[in-house]
Amino acid sequence: MGVMTYREALNLALREEMRRDPRVFILGEEVGVYEGAYKVTQGLLPEFGEKRVIDTPICESGFTGVGIGAAMLGLRPVVEMMTFNFAILALDQIVNTAAKLCYMSGGQYNVPIVIRGPGGPAHQLAAQHSQSMESYFYHVPGLKVVRPSTPRDAKGLLKSAIRDDNPVIFIEAETLYGLKGDVPEDPEFTIPLGVAEVRREGTDVTVIAYMGMMYRSLEVAEELERDGISVEIVDPRTLRPMDIDTIIGSVRKTHRAVVVEAGAGFAGMGSEIVAFITEHAFDDLDASVERVTGANAPMPYARNLEQLKTPSKEKIKAAIRKVCYA
């Protein structure tokens, strides 16, 4: 077990998988000579060479399409989006080709591709670079969607994503790249996709949250513990397939639930989680499920407005108190 940053854990996962499997290669804007906009691919070009770490032109649709074609022929490409906001330019390749080829070919073509990069709220990156893009992808049959919250998860889930035979959308966070944590150094360490993690055990209310909102919820849970409210926090880690059993099991224990997400709320991940809690655990609930979401507006550049747009500790705390009648 070693202590490393989230960025270093991603880098280690890529390095280990490229050493293990010669079919794995990386392509994207500035992933080679510049070593990635956020240095996730640092040191990979000197070790693996320009045929496996490929700098591309600024054309997300083009290099995503190249990756899909390579995957159809048996390779295992990892496509880096400089920011997942740019994946909008490759939506047709991802949604109409990568996600559907296995179905439309009657199972003749798998597309084992990973499309990874940062997404979600950051620090003053404004409307076009701070979107929670997972909502664009988890609606699409044929895609798996991962959002790892810790360095350990970043390594274990990325390795599983690379080994998966399906297209995987792997969205990281600019705000977590410098976060340090324990990471197993075993090159065979993986975390299966579709398995949630209980980050904090509690008895009064279940909070479902991931990425930055998970850490904010943990801070709130510590504060409410002093007031006698015991909060259990579940991190889904994989949004599709979602580990419904772990979430429902927690709700059946606490009888209350709050879902926290940084996205704009309407038709968001929180809506989906509330729906299956209601479908599977309605009789177990002692209060209606609450959602805490980002404001339904583009992300502002101004720091004070950015803070108003993003779910705050005060809003999370108020939602928990509401379902606990406290």
Q: What residues are labeled active site? A: 60, 129
Query: Beta-carbon neighbour count of residue 184 at 10 Å?
Result: 16
Q: Tokens for 287?
A: 């209060």
Tokens matching residue 128: 């076009």
**Closest residue by Cα to residue 255 from 223, 226, 230, 292:** 230
First-to-final CA distance of the chain = 41
Q: Which residues contact 228 (CB under 8 A, 6 or more apart)?
A: none
What distances in angstroms separate CA 110 from CA 25, 76, 160, one per listed residue? 17, 11, 16
Angstrom distance (rounded) from CA 274 to CA 257: 9
Could you write out the DSSP letters of every residue in 58-126?
A: S-HHHHHHHHHHHHHTT-EEEEEPSSGGGGGGGHIIIIIIITTHHHHTTTS-----EEEEE-S--SS--
Residue with token string 């998970």? 214
**CA max distance for the chain:** 60
User: How many Cα atoms within 13 Å fall on the side-chain side of residue 320?
Assistant: 32
Q: From CA 277, how far away is CA 84, in angstroms rounded?
A: 29
